[in-house]
Structure 1
């Protein structure tokens, strides 16, 4: 009987926009913020995992987010290579210094900010990186660790609720050579704020570069439950500050991994579920009806959650920006010991609040303290997403 090996592979593609051909509208802050330069490159980073006839593909993009219909367009390409189309999980780092890929940050509120030619390039890059990672899979072991990154994260909504825990997974060849390192932290990549017009992967990109320099292989950052909002705790909003935060993040992750033993992966199970969330947000309704947002089905928001179990580590995928209370509940439900919350996984539906914390804004166009509510699809999105996600972990779906 042939011996079965767990396999891992990784690949990257650049998705840095070309400046000068057309305006590049930067996402995340005010509208009509046009890119004037490049602080750091943007990438698609793919991690492929295989065990027997099962596969999982985790892709991290240096983007504000991607809508589920756009992600679903990529799945048929996997079928042609004998891979289950549902094996693909596409996450976005949520950098606020990358091109608008959702539509909300164009020149005005009535105009979509997405460059369709650029979006096509991104989709091609995701498929290429995923298939290359699969092609170059090799026998691997895994080590995982949890650590803290104190002093770098603040909660702008609820200051006393901060999740500064990071997770790190490293896939290595039997001889110790690093194939890939997965980094996970709950904090908006927005050291560079709205005054900046530079394209940047922010602290997340700097962290990946630092890990690759120190350890080799490919590094990818997956954003956790960064709603709330969890933001960099720095008054200095410069590329240098982003680099320092990225370096600190990388060093904390690598130090934790250095103390972690390697283990064999004998389980590779990926489950997912779809759910409907009735849309109750007049801003989103108007943007969808006017063609500002990327196209979706009419009616309720159809989205997805996922659960990847590797034995010593798990990845819980959610379709937007969980507030940290919900992130803590989801993390607690993961069996561990290494627990990864993958936010903005396969979709971006905005902030996902606990139902009991949701206060309907009196004016969605001027929400004040209810900013997160004004950027959420519905008051009950939290309970719907959490019910589906926890059901996957418990094996109920």
Structure 2
């Protein structure tokens, strides 16, 4: 009976969406000026009708948020980088998971990042009751539109926000509607988990000789499939900057995650979802090494290499779960805690206070930034969320803190972007002078690690 009520709610939500005209069949955000509409908030309604039937259901939706109709400031490699067209789409990929008792939404977008204030805006469009069950992550794409504000007009430092407010408001609204669509599409699924290791030829720590320096090459993979085996989605977690094309490229692109989406679908993995991992300090595609860049001066060469990286990532992800056991029930847990980060970076503090970087009075006070850390458990997949760019050492420590996980996932740029997340010993290391200039302070990594370990203690 409860399951019937759930599907009646879903059908009602679909009818409501049709009556207000919220079609998601668009190529990019619409050309019309932003017009706020009431999002049905279907997540709250299904949470009010818990099934308790031990059936795992999932729904997936892809929202194209590409600014096809305008030039955008591209988020990466300094200010004043205006787009001159579109190389490939940027999207938000939404996965809704519900075990009948608990539910979570994972949104992964081809953005450079999103600050907590904008994540809060998105959550408020989706739910009035369960904000921490909406988990947002950025791929840290340096070829997409500025979603933070740092890459607009300026010289060395920004003097004006680089976010196109009209496009961004429409984008957040489209993602919220996409969450409702994912819920409407929910169906019983099977889940499989696997791991793989990316070969050293594809990524490198730029501050050290190749094959030296801290790096986390492990992939975590989750496959969702329908009960008859047809693919629904493949979620992959791997740490590497999405900056293959460097500043040679002048067009909007999702960089290598976009190619991963293409090839994972071709290889039978369904919708691809990319969650970045321990990418900080400074894990990038090997083609970005300073001693390798001269070999790839031509943009077409870099695009071809990016294409191969996306294909290899898809191949590893699909292969990692090919022969793994499938389960039809995976209990879900979501635990969250706020963290208070001392701010030791004068530039970032100033950018926040003059509203180049979006914050609210609640999120910055007395030279502290307030953010969050989350622990998600979806069956044997255990997730640690990091509100910025985790360095590999932190990524590996967080994975080691999850000894009971079948597959650990460390998700960077989750629900916030506080820059590089450094441990105290890295803050004082001259190797990381650049990261220090884009980090809150020396205690950030330890505070986040301790907060996460505290969440784990609550789950035992």
TM-score range, shorter chain: over 0.9
Task: Report what 2:186 is aligned to.
Answer: 137
Report 1:17-36 matches (<5 A). Answer: 17-20=67-70, 23-36=71-84
**Cα distance 1:285–1:123, how it changes in 2: closer, same or farther (>3 A)?**
same
Paired with 1:39 and 1:393, the residues of 2 have a C-alpha distance of 42
Task: Report what 1:265 is aligned to.
Answer: 329
Does 1:147 find its partner at 2:147?
no
Deviation at 1:3, TM superposition (A): 4.0
Paired with 1:197 and 1:390, the residues of 2 have a C-alpha distance of 42
Paired with 1:265 and 1:229, the residues of 2 have a C-alpha distance of 38
Deviation at 1:92, TM superposition (A): 0.4
Paired with 1:255 and 1:360, the residues of 2 have a C-alpha distance of 38
Contact 1:266 1:311 in 2 (8 A): yes
Of 53, 58, 62, which aligns to 1:12? Answer: 62
Contact 1:265 1:312 in 2 (8 A): no
Contact 1:139 1:173 in 2 (8 A): yes
Deviation at 1:369, TM superposition (A): 5.1
Of 404, 410, 417, which aligns to 1:341? Answer: 410
Task: Report what 1:364 is aligned to.
Answer: none
Deviations 1:99-139 (A, max 9, x none): 11111111112111111111112211221221111111111
**Cα distance 1:232–1:28, how it changes in 2: closer, same or farther (>3 A)?**
same
Contact 1:315 1:340 in 2 (8 A): yes
Paired with 1:267 and 1:295, the residues of 2 have a C-alpha distance of 35
Task: Report what 1:315 is aligned to.
Answer: 383
Contact 1:46 1:133 in 2 (8 A): yes
Task: Report what 1:374 is aligned to.
Answer: 437
Higher helix fraction (1 or 2): 2
**Cα distance 1:32–1:309, how it changes in 2: closer, same or farther (>3 A)?**
same
Contact 1:9 1:180 in 2 (8 A): no
Of 204, 229, 234, which aligns to 1:181? Answer: 234
Task: Give the unaligned 5+ runs of structure 1.
Answer: 362-367
Deviation at 1:18, TM superposition (A): 2.5
Deviation at 1:76, TM superposition (A): 2.9
Task: Give the unaligned 5+ runs of structure 2.
Answer: 2-51
Segments ≥4 residues shifted beyond 6 Å = none
TM-score, reference length from structure 2:
0.81
Contact 2:215 2:393 in 1 (8 A): no
Deviations 1:346-370 (A, max 9, x none): 0010000111110298xxxxxx850
Q: CA RMSD in A?
A: 1.9
Report 1:1-397 matches (<5 A). Answer: 3-20=53-70, 23-79=71-127, 84-108=130-154, 109-150=158-199, 151-158=201-208, 159-215=212-268, 217-234=270-287, 235=292, 236=296, 238-297=302-361, 298-299=364-365, 300-334=368-402, 335-359=404-428, 370-395=433-458
The alignment partner of 2:177 has SS state of: helix
Paired with 1:38 and 1:273, the residues of 2 have a C-alpha distance of 39
TM-score, reference length from structure 1:
0.93
The alignment partner of 1:37 has SS state of: coil
Contact 2:189 2:224 in 1 (8 A): yes
